[in-house]
Amino acid sequence: MDDAICGICGVLGEVYLGDGNEKNCCSRKEILYSKNDAVDSSHPLSLEDLLERIKHHWVERTTFTRSSEPFSVNAFCLPPIIPPELRGETVVNTEFEKKTLSVNKGKNSVEGDPALLHIQIRDFNVDMQSLEKLSLQELRNLCEQCDIPVTSNKSQQCLRGNLQQLYATLLLGNCPCHGFTQVPGKTDGFYHLVCRHGVTVASKFLTLQESVRDAADLYLSLKYPPPIFICDTPCGFVRHLDCRDKIIASKLWGNNSGCFEVPSMEKLPEEGVNVPDIVPAEFRPVSVDVEVEGTADKWVHPITGSSRRYILGDRFHSTTNPHKSALCNFHDINLCLQANALKTSYQEAENNRKNKKRLQSACVQGFGTHFLYNFLMDFYQNEIIIHKQLLNLKKGLPEGFQVKRDRYRRFVYEAIQQ
């Protein structure tokens, strides 16, 4: 799998783009949705073990008239598809959290604005685990700050329930700015991360409806999360991660919420912000020194030498489906002077390509076939892109040199040893 890592980005991708694809789904008949106490969803089954299980089942079915037992997998221990060199110390799949978090499904059932609750948690250190300690008046004040309707007949218990429901939407990964869809009776597709060159970096198989929790799982599973992450729900992604792991979020963006400045309801976002780090290394006028591995802070990116991260919206969704909160405008990539250095629709093009290839298979795929089909489809597409990169590099190859991968899996020129 490491041979299918982008030869320009290597494992040090500076810009990744994420998007879900609910159309790339399959039958649920081989998937178990019951929580098994022996399964730790925060440490899923390894990808290699899962592929070995699928292969063993296929060999058994093709060799014997019947298999010893039906093939099945637990929905909450499925690993993301990430090459070993790109994986972090811990690979995360918190799919089961979507099922355990309780959020009412009816129309307008969750009252209030999650963006405003996020501000209370981030800036005023509101502890959602200590709501029992708040008086009736304090609960009313907090609800008013979050745009939750407060009436004289609402009890403390009711107000706490409203706040907990609003908080659950943040933890679950729901985003009021973007509606997530699914195909009835099927799985919920894949969430993909791609680099600027079209190479699929990581994928997560979705057993439950997509949310920003899926993007966060992949992001936290990478060895080097990119300095710039572009998706259609940047506001929901940041709010979710701020509530899910405040310590990590504070290291990545502090109070800036992944924006170029601290978002505020009191002002408009500043335009023409100068952020040189947003320019990919190959487009910079001078070469970029890579920090030596083994730094004390694992969140420091070797190219930028900083733990600072930006979570930005793609231009297509920001234009066609504007966000609901004024705070979301601070995630606009066009606020940056260097914005023209980046395109933001690679992930849309890749999902369209995957859907066309996926639809060539007319059968209703079970999990095993579907998972391996997508694994191979992405692997071979990555190989095609990398082969083109290699051919382009060889066109300008100096005499006495060869193209090799360095320790970060990037293509470099290396002198041939005599």
pLDDT value of residue 314: 87
pLDDT value of residue 358: 66
Lowest pLDDT segment from 55-64, 134-143, 300-309: 55-64
pLDDT value of residue 181: 77
Other C-beta atoms lying within 10 Å of the C-beta of residue 266: 5
Structure tokens at 10: 């290597």
Q: Could you state, in order of their start, the residue ranges of all structural domains in the chain?
A: 2-102+181-395, 114-172
One-letter amino acid of 88: G
Report the mean per-residue pLDDT for the chain: 86
Per-residue pLDDT tens digits for 344-403:
776 677 777 777 776 555 456 789 888 998 999 899 999 999 999 999 999 988 888 999
Greater confidence, 98 or 285?
A: 98
pLDDT value of residue 376: 92
Annotate the chain with three-state secondary structure. Answer: CHHHCCCCCCCCCCEEEEEEECCCCCECCCEECCCCCCCCCCCCCCHHHHHHHHHHHHHHHHHCCCCCCCCCEECCCCCCECCHHHECCCCCCCHHHHHHCCCCCCCCCCCCCHHHHHHHHHHHCCCHHHHHHCCHHHHHHHHHHCCCCCCCCCCHHHHHHHHHHHHHHHHHCCCCCCCCCCCCCECCCEEEEEECCCCEEEEEECCCCCCHHHHHHHHHHECCCCCEEEECCHHHHHHHHHHHCHHHHHHHCCCCCCCCCCCCCCCCCCCCECCHHHCCHHHCCCCCCCCCCCCCCCCCECCCCECCCEEEECHHHHHHCCCCCHHHHHHEHHHECCHHHCCCCHHHHHHHHHHHHHCCCCCCCCHHHHHHHHHHHHHHHHHHHHHHHHHHHHHCCCCCEEEEECCCCCEEEEECCC
| Strand arrangement of the beta sheet that strand 15-21 belongs to | 200-205, 190-195, 15-21, 228-231, 310-313
Per-residue pLDDT tens digits for 255-273:
999 999 999 888 999 999 9
Record the pTM: 0.91
pLDDT winner (highest mean) among 131-140, 277-286, 320-329, 341-350: 131-140
Name the band, by pLDDT with cuts 50, 70 and 90, for residue 152: confident
pLDDT at 1 over 80: yes
pLDDT at 287 over 70: no
Rounded to a whole number, what is the distance in angstroms from the first to the last CA of the chain? 31
Q: Tell me the percentage of the chain whose pLDDT exceeds 90.
A: 49
Name the band, by pLDDT with cuts 50, 70 and 90, for residue 327: confident
pLDDT at 176 over 50: yes
The residues, any chain, with a CB within 8 Å of residue 45's CB and separated by 6 or more, are: 77, 78, 79
The residues, any chain, with a CB within 8 Å of residue 209's CB and separated by 6 or more, are: 98, 180, 182, 188
Name the band, by pLDDT with cuts 50, 70 and 90, for residue 44: confident
pLDDT value of residue 359: 54
What are the two backbone dihedrals, phi and then psi, of residue 40, each rounded to the nearest 5 degrees? -105, 105
Greater confidence, 364 or 111?
A: 111
